[in-house]
Amino acid sequence: MYPITEKRMLREDTLILRVKAPHLINSKAGQYALIQHSHHSEPIPLSILEVEGEEVSFLVKVVGRTTMELREEANQIFYVAGPLGLPFPIRHYGKVVFFTKDWGISPALSVAEYLKKENNSLELYHISEDGFLPLRDKVESLFERVIVSKEIDKVGADLIVSVGSNRLSREVHRLNQGKDHIAMVNTHILDAVGLCLVCRVLVDGSMKLACCDGPWFPADKVDWDHLISREELFLEQEKLALEEYKKLLKRKELRKTSTEV
């Protein structure tokens, strides 16, 4: 078991989770860990935000049953695998513009810290309907320019980086064709060693596995329509699992209230 040393709410649907996991100390830019709350929980990939000593922090966006479990019940983690995935290719590019959404701030910060050491100029566009930017102070201290917007736009850049949503990356690529663009694909990952094949992605016409060949790929090589269609196959199951968990939480709350009375 891996103890949770901090659980800090940024708002109701976003939290920082800090876990004691010494084996993640050597993680590199843009890598992730596979987290399983309990023996019966679904494993999920979480981008590594920061490593301090033996502790690693993650930015968690609460969107389904597993992330809600982490928010509501977790005080320790059953399983933590990593660091996983190929690191982001770090070198001097020049002007690097990031497009992020939701949890995408986490890998963006990880990558940006390494890119800044290579004397790259960094800008960030965070796409948000309500203006919320997680970890704003940290973001503004690292990026030379930060824009929070509802709209994706064309930009001038030597490299574009997008992360947080497949639809986001597809739209950024559509508007900025011809520019170098590296995107993190968002897929289900169950084992992270290439056995389950659920994370397969079509890249330049060939099947790649996001868990071990990615998660970073050239955006112009990814078949985004195929990836998004596969992502949508799980929406109904995810919705049912979340509804069932909410009922479970309600029953627990009712039992607790009855006992207190």
Dump the DSSP string for 20-70: E-GGGTT--TT-EEEEESSTTSPPEEEE--EEETTEEEEEEE--SHHHHHH
The closest of 104, 125, 108 to 116, measured between CA atoms, is 108
Whole-number mean pLDDT of the chain? 91
Measured distance CA(54)–CA(21) in Å, rounded: 6
Instruction: Find out whether 58 and 46 touch, Cβ atoms under 8 Å.
Output: yes
Of the two residues 224 and 39, the one the predictor is more confident about is 224
Measured distance CA(121)–CA(93) in Å, rounded: 9
pLDDT at residue number 120: 98
Q: Where do the CATH 3.40.50 domains begin and end in the chain?
A: 95-233
pLDDT at residue number 252: 74
pLDDT at residue number 260: 59
Report for 36-50, 104-118, 219-233: range of highest mean pLDDT: 104-118
Alpha helices (runs of H) in the chain, residue ranges in sequence order:
65-72, 105-117, 136-142, 166-175, 224-231, 235-260
pLDDT per residue over 47-86, tens digit each? Answer: 999 999 999 999 999 988 889 899 988 899 999 999 999 9
Say yes or no to pLDDT of 256 above 90.
Answer: no
Question: Which CATH number does 95-233 carry?
Answer: 3.40.50
Counting Cβ atoms within 10 Å, is residue 243 exposed (0-12), middle (13-18) or buried (19+)? exposed
**Tokens 């001038």, located at residue:** 156
pLDDT at residue number 239: 72
DSSP state of 90: -
The closest of 261, 257, 247 to 68, measured between CA atoms, is 247
Q: Where do the CATH 2.40.30.10 domains begin and end in the chain?
A: 2-84
pLDDT at residue number 259: 61
pLDDT at residue number 244: 78
Say yes or no to pLDDT of 17 above 80.
Answer: yes
What separation in angstroms does the CA of 209 have from each of 87, 165, 170?
A: 14, 17, 18
pLDDT at residue number 35: 93
Query: Which residues, in sequence order, are CB contacts of 213 under 8 Å at separation 6+?
Result: 86, 201, 203
Question: Which CATH number does 2-84 carry?
Answer: 2.40.30.10
**Beta-bridge partner residues of 51:** 56
Across 3-29, average pLDDT: 96
Say yes or no to pLDDT of 222 above 90.
Answer: yes
Query: Which residues, in sequence order, are CB contacts of 21 under 8 Å at separation 6+?
Result: 2, 33, 54, 55, 56, 77, 80, 82
Q: What is the pTM of this model?
A: 0.89
pLDDT at residue number 257: 67
If one counts every other C-beta atom within 10 angstroms of the C-beta of residue 156, the result is 10
Confidence of residue 5 (pLDDT cuts 50, 70, 90): very high
pLDDT per residue over 144-171, tens digit each? Answer: 999 999 999 999 999 999 999 999 999 9
Query: Which residues, in sequence order, are CB contacts of 253 under 8 Å at separation 6+?
Result: none
